[in-house]
A and B are shown apart, each in its own frame.
Chain A
Amino acid sequence: MKFKSQQFGYWFFASAMLLLVLQVLYGFIMGFAHMGYDNLHEWIPFNTARAVHTNLLVVWLLLGFMGSAYYIIPEEADREIYWPKLVMPQLISFLLVGVVAVGGYHVNWWEGRKFLEIPRPLDWLVVANVLLFLANVGMTIWNGKRFTTTSIVLYLGLLFAALLYLPGMIAFDNQTLDSFYRWWVVHLWVEGVWELIMGGMLCFLLIKLTGIDREVLEKWLYIIVGLTFLSGILGTGHHYYYIGTPSYWLWIGGVFSALEPVAFLGMAIYAIAVARKGERKHPNRIALQWTVGSAIVAFVGAGFLGLAHTLPQVNLWTHGTLVTAMHGHMAFWGAYAMINFAIIAYALPQMTGRKLWDQPSAMLAFWCSNIGMICMTGAFAVAGITQVNLERRMGLDFLRVQEELHVHFFGLILAACLFALGIGFFILNFIRHGTPNTEAIGMDVDGSISDEGEFATS
């Protein structure tokens, strides 16, 4: 790690871990409710648990992205953060907004649109906060010594994510139009601009961990994010099949969203090929494992499982069932949770100077969480397909079918325990690294490769 201000990333990552723990806790509440044990209903009804679960997810992922930007951008721009004094206030105010929002969900204060439950006044605070973040990072790039594709792609992703939040704030009396613009946020985030962020982070990690020529990697980065937008923008149509919008969306959405997996496949092939070709091995193998793992699991969860229900002929039956939850879990995990874990696994030793990458807990974290998530996806899949067949195709009553699904939610909870164990190991490892210290500044902790593939000394 070269610059002092890169260490700010640590506090973002640490906050993200805390929110992740809470997210998983609320996940368990919902899992039990689905199984028939809604004992907390009086205090935390299902809709509260759900809003907390998904909002904490989005907030901790965003914290991870911000932390990554504060870590990556100085290194790419070859200078300190432009306004270092503003970083911690930005983090703290962001967290405060989050705490107020989550508290509000427990007292029925929200906006009631899935994923965008934050009440309007808090929306504005989020916007102001993110503008501050973007200004700080943007000034760092602008005044930097180097202008790299990796930092531009990462920054464009963050900037567009902020801009696309705005259409979600327009209010309509017509439910159909409300829904139409809700997807400008939800879909165009995860299947558009967040992929730029992921691509930028992936590229940075591959450069650092394999020593492969930056020019080659960045060229492919452009192609991959190009494919993302080519398919993903009109692919939004796969949410416009059945909400009261014109029927031409059926074929536009069908065709273009069916192309979306290509970008994820490209990302997976790119990561695997680069990891195998990399001549100089960075000793932090676990960071590379998370990096490549992220690209692969994203392809399976988003690409393959997305494709499974994206054609209108299939979606007519699966729309709004647990099949969607199956896909949502693995896609978010692979694409966005794992890439954050990758950067944390890489950056923590750099920020603290401690090399804990060979610890068994680091390995266990990877395998428990991933196997756990694969099994959770399986449980959701069995529950979802059963629901589709019994309720949507045979016409059985909703609640009656849900009772048949209790057993699959028992399976979900077992799998979730394994998953949570993996998260526990990861956090244990995180804590063992201690906090950033000044000795780590100015040296590359692995002592083997520097940015351009040359050996550095440490």
Chain B
Amino acid sequence: MLSKRQARAFFLGGTFVFSAAFVGLTIDTHRHVPKQTNAHLITPEVVAGKKIWEDNNCMGCHTLFGEGAYYAPELTKTVERRGKAWLRIFLKDPEKMYPGRRKMVNYHFTDEEIEHVIAFFEWAGQVDLNGFPADPPLRDALAATSGVEYPEPLPLPVPAILETAACTGCHRVAGQGGDAGALIGAPPLDGVHLRKTRDELIQWISDPQAIKPGTAMPDLVPSVISDAQVIEIVDYLYSPAN
């Protein structure tokens, strides 16, 4: 059996060997990280965004790179998922996009701060994370068994207003956007003319909360879009009928 001296030698020797290996790997990691994380894209805006991220402890609700808290969405791919226009409106007033749902703090960011936060997320979304977050493997299987028939996509190009007004942050339109919104019940807008009349569409988009209080679709008129722009959107949504 081992003596106490040998046991101590095992402890000290093992600790030394594995600490040395760890330091070696740390040095090598430092060599690889700049390339893997696109360090050349870390602009002053990205750094400013990171500071906002830290100063407000966003990690106390959210995860980024899968690290943080489990109360609010993982944000690594948020720019890809939502688009910048949607994020701009969201960060101005988070509750607007999710009335009545789990709350985020409203930080009353300035436009500049919002750009910094978005720059930080955009950089984060491009880091090579060895495959995280993975595509959900069962999503396609579910779609195949659900028997939903997809209507003809709306014609391209999609008017820019649908992106700047954040519609594509939730809705799928002409084969674009909408991954995040589909599952909170935001339907694809292709084929909506088959379900709703022109007037219904105008009323709905102008004031969804009045028609269906508590719906997950936010009121965007007049704070984000004007009445004239609503008409422009409805013209587009109705274009297949003409």
Which A residues form the contact surface with B (CB < 8 A)?
Answer: 30, 33-34, 36, 38, 41, 45-48, 50-51, 105, 108, 110-114, 117, 149, 173-177, 179-180, 215, 218-220, 222-223, 225-227, 229-230, 233-234, 236, 240-250, 252, 316-317, 319-322, 324-325, 387, 391-400, 402
B181 nearest in chain A by CB position = A397
Given contacts A38-B103, A176-B65, contact A324 B70 (CB under 8 A): yes
Beta-carbon contact of B65 and A179 below 8 Å: yes
Judge whether B131 and A244 touch: CB under 8 Å: no
Q: Which residues of B contact A317 (CB under 8 A)?
A: 134
Please name the residue on chain B nearest to A321 by beta carbon: B70
Instruction: Indicate if the CB atoms of B183 and A230 lie closer than 8 Å.
Output: no
B60 touching A320, Cβ below 8 Å: no
Inter-subunit contact A113/B18 (CB<8 Å): no
Set B19, B58, B74, B128: member contacting A320, Cβ < 8 A: B74
**Known A34-B71, A48-B60, A397-B180; contact A247-B98, beta-carbon cutoff 8 A:** no
**Residues of B with C-beta under 8 A to A48:** 60
Closest B residue by C-beta to A188: B22
Q: Which among B33, B68, B101 is the interface contact of A399 at CB below 8 angstroms?
A: B101
Name the contact of B32 in the complex, choosing from A45, A245, A391 (C-beta under 8 A). Answer: A245
B69 touches A394 (CB 8 A): no
Residue among A46, A175, A226 with most chain B CB within 10 A? A175
The reply to whether A112 and B54 contact each other, CB–CB distance below 8 Å, is yes
Q: Is there contact, CB below 8 Å, between A399 and B8?
A: no
Q: Which residues of the partner chain A approach B157 to less than 8 Å between Cβ atoms?
A: none
Residue of A226, A233, A247, A396 near B11 (CB, 8 A) is A226
- Residues of A within 8 Å of B11, CB to CB, are 222-223, 225-226, 229
User: Would you give the shortest CB distance from A183 to chain B, in whole angstroms?
Assistant: 9
Q: Is the CB of B32 within 8 A of A246?
A: yes
Question: Closest chain A residue to B74 by CB distance?
Answer: A320
A223 CB contacts on chain B under 8 angstroms: 2, 7, 10-11
Query: CB distance B39 to A174 under 8 Å?
Result: yes
B138 touches A393 (CB 8 A): yes
List, in ascending order, chain A residues with CB within 8 A of B139's CB: 394-395
- The answer to whether B56 touches A108 (Cβ under 8 A) is yes
How many Å lie between the Cα of A321 and that of B71 in the bound state? 9
B180 near A250 (CB under 8 angstroms)? no
Q: How far is it, in angstroms, between the C-alpha of A93 and the C-alpha of B18 when the chains are bound?
A: 36
Count chain B CB atoms within 10 A of each CB in A246, A392, A402 and give the residue with the most: A246
Taking A223-B2, A392-B136 as contacts, is the C-beta distance between A320 and B70 under 8 angstroms? Answer: yes
Contact yes or no, A112 B55, CB < 8 A: yes
* Chain A residues with CB below 8 A from B66, complex form: 242-243, 319-320
The list of the 9 closest CB pairs from A to B, nearest first, reads A47-B60, A395-B136, A320-B66, A242-B132, A112-B54, A397-B183, A395-B139, A226-B11, A222-B7
Tell me, in angstroms, the Cα distance from A325 to B39 when the chains sit together.
31
Q: B59 in the interface, Cβ–Cβ < 8 Å?
A: yes
Chain B residues within 8 Å of A, Cβ to Cβ: 2-4, 7-8, 10-11, 14-15, 18-19, 21-22, 25-26, 28-30, 32-34, 36-37, 39, 42, 46-47, 50, 53-61, 63-74, 98, 101-103, 105, 124, 127-139, 142, 180-184
The residue that A400 contacts in the complex, of B53, B103, B183, with Cβ under 8 A, is B183
- Closest A residue, CB atoms, query B105: A45
CB pairs A–B below 8 angstroms (11 shown) = A149-B8, A173-B42, A179-B67, A180-B29, A222-B7, A233-B18, A244-B37, A246-B32, A319-B132, A392-B136, A393-B137
Residue of A117, A226, A324 contacting most chain B CB atoms (<10 Å): A226
Contacting pair B74 A51 (CB below 8 A): no
Name the CB-closest residue of B to A36.
B102
Instruction: Verify B134–A316 contact, CB threshold 8 A.
Output: yes
**Considering the chains assembled together, what is the distance between the CA atoms of A400 and B102 in angstroms?**
10
Q: Is the CB of A396 within 8 A of B14?
A: no
A51 to B53, CA, bound (A): 15
Within 8 Å CB of B18, what residues of A? 229-230, 233-234
Q: Which among B34, B65, B130, B136 has the highest number of chain A CB atoms within 10 Å?
A: B130
Q: Please tell me if the beta carbons of B53 and A112 are within 8 angstroms of each other in the complex.
A: yes
Closest B residue to A222 by CB, please name it.
B7
Q: Could you list 16 further interchain pairs (A-B, Cβ under 8 angstroms) beyond the known A175-B64, A246-B32, A395-B135?
A: A45-B103, A112-B57, A112-B58, A175-B50, A223-B10, A229-B18, A230-B14, A233-B19, A240-B29, A244-B65, A245-B36, A246-B36, A397-B181, A398-B73, A399-B101, A402-B102
Given A41-B103, A176-B127: A226 and B56 interface contact (C-beta under 8 Å): no
**CB pair A242 B130 closer than 8 Å:** yes
Q: Are B22 and A245 in contact (CB under 8 A)?
A: no
Task: Closest A residue to B136 by CB, please name it.
Answer: A395
Given A112-B54, A399-B73, also A241-B130 (CB < 8 A): yes
Contact A226 B15 (CB under 8 A): yes
Indicate if the CB atoms of A47 and B70 lie closer than 8 Å.
Answer: no
The smallest C-beta distance from B24 to any residue of chain A, in angstroms, reads 11
- What A residues does B53 contact at CB under 8 A? 112
Q: A393-B137, A399-B184 are in contact. Are A252 and B33 (CB under 8 A)?
A: no
